[in-house]
Amino acid sequence: MSTQFTNRQWRLPNNENKSKQSNYSMDFDGSGYITCNQISQLNSTTAFSISVWCKLDNVSGILGDYVSRVGVKLDWNDHLGGFLQFTTKTTGSNNYLKYNVARDSNWHHIVCTYDAGVRYIYLDGVSVANDSAAPTQMISTLGDNFLIGKHQQPTSMAGQIDAVAIFDYALTDGTGGTVNQIAALYGSSSTGIGNPMAISGGGKPVAYYQLGDKSAFNGANYLVPNIAAQEDDGDIATSYSPYALDFDAASGDEINTNYIPPTGASARTISIWFYQDTSANADICGYGTNTVAGLFDIILYGGNVYVHGYGAGQDYGKGAYTVGVWNHYVITYDGTTAKGYVNNVATPENTVTLSTGTTNTFKIGNGYFNIGNFNGKLSNCSIWNAALTSAQVSELYNEGVPSNLNNHSAYSNLVSWWQLGSNSSFNTNWTVLDEKGSNNGTSVNMTEADIVDGVGSSANGLSSGMGGDEVIGDAPYSTANSLSVNMDVEDRVTDTPS
Per residue in 440-494, pLDDT (tens digit) is 999 999 999 999 988 876 678 888 888 888 888 899 989 888 888 778 777 777 6
DSSP 8-state code for residue 393: H
pTM given for the model = 0.84
| Cα 26-32-35 angle, rounded to 5 deg | 85
The pLDDT value recorded for residue 231 is: 47
CA distances from 479 to 15, 17, 58, 189, 471 (A): 11, 8, 19, 11, 13
Q: Could you tell me which residues come within 8 angstroms of residue 391 by beta carbon, excluding any fewer than 6 positions away?
A: 409
Q: Which of 86-95, 359-368, 411-420 has the highest mean pLDDT?
A: 411-420
DSSP 8-state code for residue 398: G
For 291-306, what is the mean pLDDT? 79
Which band of pLDDT confidence, cut at 50, 70 and 90, is reported for residue 112? very high
The C-alpha atoms of residue 279 and residue 264 are separated, in whole angstroms, by: 33
Which band of pLDDT confidence, cut at 50, 70 and 90, is reported for residue 357? low
Taking phi over 0 as left and psi of -120 to 50 as alpha, with beta for the rest, 447 belongs to beta
The pLDDT value recorded for residue 295 is: 60
Helix-strand-coil percent breakdown of the chain, rounded to 5?
10, 40, 50
3-class state of residue 211 by DSSP? helix
Average pLDDT, the chain: 85
* Architecture in CATH for domain 246-453: Sandwich (2.60)
Beta strands (DSSP E) in 107-183 are 107-115, 118-123, 126-131, 147-148, 158-167
Query: For the structural domain made of 4-239, what CATH number should be given?
Result: 2.60.120.200
Q: Could you tell me which residues come within 8 angstroms of residue 134 by beta carbon, excluding any fewer than 6 positions away?
A: 88, 95, 97, 114, 117, 118, 119
65-82 pLDDT, tens digit per residue, is: 777 667 788 887 766 567
The C-alpha atoms of residue 476 and residue 162 are separated, in whole angstroms, by: 8
Q: Name the residue among 397, 406, 121, 417 with its Cα closest to residue 257.
A: 417
The b/e string for 371-381 (b: 16+ C-beta within 10 A; e otherwise) is ebbbbbbbbbb
Contacts of 127-132 with CB under 8 Å at 24 or more apart are: 127/173, 127/182, 128/99, 128/101, 129/86, 129/97, 129/98, 129/99, 130/97, 131/97
- Amino acid (1-letter code) at residue 318: K
| Cα 405-496-383 angle, rounded to 5 deg | 20
The C-alpha atoms of residue 42 and residue 64 are separated, in whole angstroms, by: 9
120-138 pLDDT, tens digit per residue, is: 999 999 999 999 988 888 8
- Whether 395 shows a pLDDT value over 90: the answer reads yes
Burial class (CB in 10 A: 0-12, 13-18, 19+), 287: buried
The C-alpha atoms of residue 455 and residue 244 are separated, in whole angstroms, by: 7
3-class state of residue 286 by DSSP? strand
8-28 pLDDT, tens digit per residue, is: 778 888 888 888 889 888 888
The C-alpha atoms of residue 3 and residue 24 are separated, in whole angstroms, by: 12
Count of residues for the chain? Answer: 498
Taking residue 320's Cβ as centre, other Cβ atoms within 10 Å add up to 14
Domain with CATH 2.60.120.200 in the chain: 4-239, 246-453
- Whether 110 shows a pLDDT value over 80: the answer reads yes
The pLDDT value recorded for residue 91 is: 79
> What percent of the chain has pLDDT above 90?
41
Q: Name the residue among 327, 378, 331, 329 with its Cα closest to residue 352.
A: 331
The distance in angstroms from the start CA to the end CA of the chain is 25
Q: Is the CB of residue 277 less than 8 Å from the CB of residue 346?
A: no
